[in-house]
A and B are shown apart, each in its own frame.
Chain A
Amino acid sequence: MKRSTVLTVISVAAIVPMVLLAISINENKAEQKAINAVPQIKKLESRSSEWGKYYQRQYDSYRQTRKSDKIDDMLQVNPALVVMWAGYGFSKDYNAPRGHFYMLEDNINTLRTGGPVDAMTGPMPTACWTCKSTDVPRLIDKIGELDYFTGKWARHGSEIANPVGCGDCHDNETMKLTITRDFLKRGLDAEGSLKAAEATHQDMRSLVCAQCHSEYYFKKTEWTDKNGAKQTAGVVTFPWDNGFSAEAMEQYYDDRNFVDWTHKVSKTPMLKAQHPGYEIYKTGAHGLNNVACADCHMPYVREGGVKYSSHNVGSPLDHMANTCLNCHSEEEKAFKDRVARKLARKTELTKTAMDVIAKAHLEAGKAWELGATEAEMKDILQDIRHAQWRWDYSIASHGSFFHAPEETLRILGSAINKGQEARVKLRAVLAKYDAGDYEAPDFSTKEKAQAVIGLPYQKLVDEKMTFLNGLRQEWIEQQRQKGLYDTQAWEGMKFNTSYAPEELAKK
């Protein structure tokens, strides 16, 4: 009896503090849950101002991207681009990118998206909205991915109402970073070095950016809609099966005989590199050291007594104390000078490459004109295709000269080499047709270059203005009726393009 009593007393004596401890632990856990709780926001809410109600600092800093508002007409700066992209949208209009705030506005205003008059017209497919708007994941969720990727750009005009924002990277239930574009998951899984399902928080701080800052093409995909009709979707696809490098993707496209467009002058089956920012960054010093995009482009900033990640995505050089100097201990000026030297080196080689490749196109055009045969031109065109692809891959992501200078210069070197190889072969062909001393026409300004390739510039501008003052205004009205239009997303937007002065537009 004695032993039982002792045991009971000891046990109860142990149970009582343990119960109190358990209560205390659960209270603390409840407090932690309250601290980590997130507000109720609708799934795939596309209006960023709705998220901004609860995350005011992040939202305000996101809206600061409006300060990056300068239109830099790249065709004006590098007229060779017009020749290189002859027959392709980019020869019509191409500006350096502006802040996230302008993303959708610029997509709608560019001459590349043309002047559709209804849902069935215009030069571009629906896929061109894909990286421009928070309404894209919402719409894909609503109608399905294949349906979304089917038809002309103008088809979704009344649904795509908001520029890229909160819902593109954040899960509404947890606020965790999330991938809202499934093609990134498919690309990562095909490449294999980092499976989408295994991504850590630190990986996600780059992957949310990689959803859009990557190379892609529109893969033709057959499907049957619910009425049993055959449809063809152009699904955004990352060509990562063989790897991230310029050569690996080149192989990928060659294996599939993929052609973005046929060059108007040289008849080359061309590739257009989009902006392989993520892929190139992975090969550079920062990428190799697991420094995420957000570490430099969305640094921790202090505002009064509060710290948060700035959502004013832009150049880290604008506030180096919070970015570079977090890890490096050097003078700001020394850093800026070094970055400027990197840029100058890239500019030197890219100018050379553009000149070589543009001339190759024009010389090839002359060879065709003089009656060169398919057999004579085959190897030459392949060289031009590869030269331009490599040049484009190396510079299209803008930041590549900094993210991975060695890789960028290496690819540019190989682009120049391929281009010159084509020109050596072209000289032989031209000589055969008694034009050994042929010189390509002058393309030293945007206007001259557009005349060389026969681009009806004014017609394109007129069509665009008709669209902007017509169909676009109808879209906005429909968006308002559907409750998609976020007034705050468009507040203070000024009409600013490379082709028309402000007074031309009614808005």
Chain B
Amino acid sequence: METKGMMKYAAVLSVLGAVGMFAYVGYASNMFSYLSEDPKVCINCHTMNTEYATWQHSSHRERATCVECHLPRESLADKIFAKSRDGFKHSFAMTFRTYEGDNIRISESAKKRIQANCINCHREIVSQITANSKLYQTAGESGQIDRKCWSCHREVPHGTTRSLTTTPDNLGVKEI
């Protein structure tokens, strides 16, 4: 009888402990901020300081936020899926330190999304370019050659100097 009572007690305590711990982790990680689209959410972690700072000093600042370029815009489901997957990968990398150095690189799938978003906003300017590029490809290809917009427009929008150590005294970031 006594052990049973003890176990019950332990069970309640450990469930409470787990709930409490979950609440704390939620609080410590600013969990709910990730539901927002505010660019400042991206500098919850210091890894993105330079990306934020360079964007904040670019002409895209007035027109496009982080998620407007980096997440798909076609459907809400795609967007939420991409955001969750990226979010998981980023948390994993932060927690287990699987990223190397301070100079992070974009993933292949994110490149595709961004390219689509470049074209989406600048479609009037690039429509002729995309149409012409089809002429240089074998039948059945997607119509876009491998090069991305930023293969030439290398400074847009983050500049070519963009590792964490390159913007040491950034005020827009330190505001947080």
Residue of B nearest to A327 (CB): B59
Q: Is the interface of A mostly helix, strand, loop or mixed?
A: helix
| B62 neighbours in A (Cβ, 8 Å) | 289-291
Residue positions of A touching B, CB distance < 8 A:
1, 3-5, 7-8, 11-12, 14-15, 18-19, 21-22, 24-26, 28-29, 31-32, 35-36, 38, 55, 57-58, 174-177, 201, 289-291, 295, 299-300, 302, 305-309, 326-327
A25 to B27, CA, bound (A): 11
Closest Cβ–Cβ distance, residue A335 to chain B (whole Å): 15
Cβ contact within 8 Å between A15 and B18: yes
Cβ contact within 8 Å between B172 and A4: no
A464 to B8, CA, bound (A): 92
| B57-84 interface code vs A (CB 8 A; 1 in, 0 out) | 1110010000000000000000000000
Q: Is B159 an interface residue (CB 8 A)?
A: yes
Given A25-B28, A308-B167, 18 further pairs, Cβ under 8 A = A1-B3, A15-B14, A15-B17, A18-B24, A22-B24, A25-B25, A25-B29, A32-B45, A32-B46, A36-B173, A174-B174, A201-B175, A300-B54, A305-B163, A305-B166, A306-B161, A307-B53, A307-B161
A427 to B172, CA, bound (A): 60
Q: Is B165 an interface residue (CB 8 A)?
A: yes
A326 to B56, CA, bound (A): 12
Cβ contact within 8 Å between B166 and A306: yes
| B168 neighbours in A (Cβ, 8 Å) | 306, 308
Residue of B nearest to A54 (CB): B169
Q: Is B126 an interface residue (CB 8 A)?
A: no
Closest Cβ–Cβ distance, residue B69 to chain A (whole Å): 17
Q: Is B7 an interface residue (CB 8 A)?
A: yes
Cβ contacts A to B, 30 pairs, < 8 Å: A4-B8, A4-B11, A5-B7, A8-B10, A8-B11, A11-B11, A11-B18, A12-B14, A15-B17, A15-B18, A18-B24, A21-B25, A22-B28, A24-B94, A24-B95, A28-B45, A28-B94, A29-B28, A32-B45, A35-B46, A38-B174, A175-B174, A176-B175, A201-B171, A201-B175, A291-B62, A300-B159, A302-B161, A306-B168, A307-B166
Closest Cβ–Cβ distance, residue B172 to chain A (whole Å): 5
